Amino acid sequence: MQLPDPRLLDELRAAAGADAVLSREEELFVYECDALTHHTGRPAAVVLPHSSDEVVAIVRACARAGVPFVARGAGTGLSGGAVALGGGVVIECARMNRVLEIDPVDRVAVVQPGVVNADLSKAAAADGLFFAPDPSSQQACTVGGNVAENSGGPHTLKYGSTTGHVLALELVLADGERLRLGSRAGGDPGYDLVGAVVGSEGTLGVVTEATVRLTPLPEAVETLLAVFPDVVSACRAVAAVIRSGLVPAALEIVDQRTIAAVEASVYAAGLPLDAGAVLIAELDGAAVALARQVERVRALASSSGASRVEVARDAAERQRFWRARKGAFGAMGRMAPDLYVHDAVVPRSKLPEVLEEICAIGDRYGLKLSNVFHAGDGNLHPNISFDRRDADEMKRVLAAGAEILALCVRAGGVISGEHGIGTEKQDFMPLLFTPDDLDAMRRLRAAFDPGRRCNPGKVFPTTRFCVESNPKARGYERVSFDA
């Protein structure tokens, strides 16, 4: 794509420095997708600012040229959010990677948006603190991306998703205006504008600074690995643990296909290959309370059908269990060239029946479908391994995905737990929201970005759907294109 205004590249260089602007074909190729590899769009240019001032100058240059832009962190997003559709400028925040302040009394950190999630927790550990949102991509993904996607992770069950950990934001709007939202002290009166920005997928502005809550590291942690004959009995154990009143830090299920992929990969953790599923349960808190809780979880897992329950003896063993879980998506690279990581939520009481139906959908379409998921939150990740060069398989992958989402909504769930909508699910929004709901969201968006130059083409449906009067009812039918 040609830049609409040839002076824009020069203005971008003036804004952020000559070495901060990428515009050659081979450089732009790297930015044509995020981790949803079958949704692509080549940007016209990529700029890597170091500071908020540079972001303001970049955004103003885009405004003068009438060019849209999209903020990007590490590009680990799984819903196509960080892709510049139809050209436009990518504002890559990787160089804005400084932890500006850690205050152990206020228990906050002030960071630039390109700080890597795991690096923030490492920096806070000296003060006995950590940043609780822990996506499985935490070694790479950035705080800016976490804020934009309202990311979760295995420990969301106890600590909540990113929105509960963001106190204040600096946001650069599409016209270059710089806003400060929220306060370090929290509990801001008035409209919750920080809450509006968290999860807005880069459509309201560029987050250039975040003040986030830090959480005390727990005194003790215990991690259990329970082996089950099938996923349904593992789900039964999750229900039993939650019903017992315990509040585990994490309850994660890994199914048989995923175990096979993990054990054949560098993430191998010694999981039993004949298991139908394993449940990783983590408990944290005061050391004195944990021994009893471990025994309760062990008993509940056993009475739900676990053939074996191991308790990690030390930190190395705990990391081994987690390596299997957090490396699962990477390990699936062995199964096929492409992986479609789905993300939907159902009430956890519905997990067994929904999972059974999801597996039946995968079988019906002749697909390799595996499951590794945040069971405690009912947050499913049905993963489809496929080869996008096979057009017929690609069609079946998309059709199965659509059925899975409709199924989850019918079960009382939602179409994304943590990966966002992006371009992946925008046309499924009418499953959850009425036209009036969507108009209200559009008006909120317009208050921040009336010209729709900030990450356009995401979140909102591109297609008009004929949804039955209750959009949660039965599904949808695509009837016409709505530009």
Chain positions contacting ligand FAD, by CB under 6 A: 34-35, 70-78, 81-82, 93, 113, 135-137, 141-142, 144-146, 148-149, 151-153, 201-202, 206-207, 329, 418-419, 455
**Which of residues 12 and 206 has its CB atom nearest to ligand FAD in the complex?**
206
Is 398 within 8 Å of 429 (Cβ atoms)?
Answer: no
How far apart are CB 146 and ligand FAD at their closest, in Å? 4
How far apart are CB 181 and ligand FAD at their closest, in Å? 13
47's enclosing H/E stretch is strand 45-47
**Which of residues 309 and 418 has its CB atom nearest to ligand FAD in the complex?**
418
How far apart are CB 153 and ligand FAD at their closest, in Å? 4
DSSP helix/strand/coil, 90: strand
How far apart are CB 295 and ligand FAD at their closest, in Å? 29
**Which of residues 362 and 420 has its CB atom nearest to ligand FAD in the complex?**
420
How far apart are CB 467 and ligand FAD at their closest, in Å? 25
Contacts of 29 (CB under 8 A, 6+ apart): 42
How far apart are CB 23 and ligand FAD at their closest, in Å? 19
CA-CA distance, 175 to 108, in Å (whole number)? 30
Of the candidates 403, 405, 400, 402, the residue with the CA atom closest to the CA atom of residue 385: 400
Of the candidates 6, 88, 94, 91, the residue with the CA atom closest to the CA atom of residue 41: 88
**Which of residues 329 and 428 has its CB atom nearest to ligand FAD in the complex?**
329
**Which of residues 206 and 467 has its CB atom nearest to ligand FAD in the complex?**
206
Structure tokens belonging to residue 38: 């079958």
**Which of residues 135 and 471 has its CB atom nearest to ligand FAD in the complex?**
135
**Which of residues 135 and 413 has its CB atom nearest to ligand FAD in the complex?**
135
**Which of residues 352 and 417 has its CB atom nearest to ligand FAD in the complex?**
417
Of the candidates 277, 154, 261, the residue with the CA atom closest to the CA atom of residue 225: 277
Q: What strands lie across the sheet with 382-386, from one edge to the other?
A: 308-311, 220-228, 277-285, 250-255, 368-373, 382-386, 338-341
How far apart are CB 91 and ligand FAD at their closest, in Å? 8
Structure tokens belonging to residue 7: 């002076």
Structure tokens belonging to residue 30: 């790297």
How far apart are CB 197 and ligand FAD at their closest, in Å? 8
For residue 210, the one-letter residue type is: A
Burial 181-200 (b: 16+ CB within 10 A, else e): bbeeeeeeeeeebbbbbbbb
